[in-house]
Amino acid sequence: MIELNRICKTFRVAQRSAGMREAAKALFRRTYSEIHALQDVSFCIGDGEMVGYIGPNGAGKSSTIKVMSGILTPDSGSCVIDGCVPWRDRQAHAANIGVVFGQRSQLWWDVPVIDSFELIRDIYRVDEGLYRQSLDELTELLDLSSILRTPTRQLSLGQRMRCEIAASLIHRPRILFLDEPTIGLDAVSKLAVRDFIRRINRERGTTVILTTHDMQDIEALTERIILIGRGRILLDGTLDALKARHSTLRQITVAFTAGTPSPADRPLPAGFSLISASEDRVTVAIDTEIVSVSDAIEGLTRGVDVRDLSVAGQSTDELVVSLYEEFRI
């Protein structure tokens, strides 16, 4: 159980303009500007939930993760995770959580991965039997057997990220924080990582909090999303509800045999707008507040030799862009 209540954090950042003159001035008088990294951030996450935490760069995602993992002390507000205040009970809290910072590495560069794992086993004082069991499981699920004896420096990014995630789970934490876990990964590795995160959440009941810019991550993994911008929580809800609320537009693409009548031959009624038309394919946007999807399909396909048909909602990427626009972040 994770409870954040009105967490605030302000950083003071030294500022100066470019140039020698300004640099010399800054020697004597520094001007600071205050950056409100977190303002009144409150939310509650139950055991076993999987939550996507999204927002543009600099919104406060990483700061929130740092607060929840106990390495950043907020200026005010309270945070209780399984009965611990992370920054006050840092060491006790650390045993219950696993953290993956996608942009950093916790593996030792020059030694084989297995040596890093054994160090982590000792750090968390994991019993040998449990360690074996965890290691076998993780090796199988993340397909690590061929890379465990390779030094970290010789791993590809995808291989390394799989090892990083395994390293964070050796001590079987109840909560897993993933800060951009799929950053820079190719499609195959992304799918493997997503699949694994889903299994860990389902089978071990691990609570997962995930920050990402990859909307496919969110779509594939989380039911609930929390949107943060300029240090404030802007939205907290399910992805579907957000989509329903935000987009009444659907795109219908009809592919038909070339040379036969096209849906675009007839003038389109209200609620339809033509996006593209070629000799064998027509794409139309419809507004579901004016016309229902089934009526639209019926109207578009009447008398047409249909080969293929697809209906698409607004993509999650587009949804997020429209959210960012709506909240001006």
Binding site for another protein (CB under 8 A): 11, 57-58, 62, 66, 69-73, 90-92, 94-95, 97, 99, 101, 103-106, 108, 110-111, 115-116, 118-119, 122-125
Report CA-CA distances (Å) from 272 to 80, 236, 284, 290: 51, 32, 7, 9
- 9's CB contacts (< 8 A; 6+ apart) are 36, 37, 38, 63, 67, 72, 74, 75, 231
Work out how close the CB of 89 gets to another protein at its nearest, in angstroms, rounded to a whole number.
10
Please say which residue, 84 or 284, places its beta carbon nearer to another protein.
Answer: 84
Work out how close the CB of 137 gets to another protein at its nearest, in angstroms, rounded to a whole number.
22
**Edge to edge, what strands does the sheet with 272-277 contain?**
272-277, 281-287, 249-256, 306-312
R_g of the chain, CA atoms, integer Å? 25
Cα torsion 94, 86, 207, 178 to 10°: value is -70
Work out how close the CB of 151 gets to another protein at its nearest, in angstroms, rounded to a whole number.
10
Question: What does the DSSP assignment read for 106-123?
Answer: -S-TTSBHHHHHHHHHHH
Please say which residue, 65 or 286, places its beta carbon nearer to another protein.
Answer: 65
Work out how close the CB of 109 gets to another protein at its nearest, in angstroms, rounded to a whole number.
8
Please say which residue, 71 or 275, places its beta carbon nearer to another protein.
Answer: 71
Work out how close the CB of 95 gets to another protein at its nearest, in angstroms, rounded to a whole number.
4
Please say which residue, 126 or 323, places its beta carbon nearer to another protein.
Answer: 126
Please say which residue, 214 or 242, places its beta carbon nearer to another protein.
Answer: 214
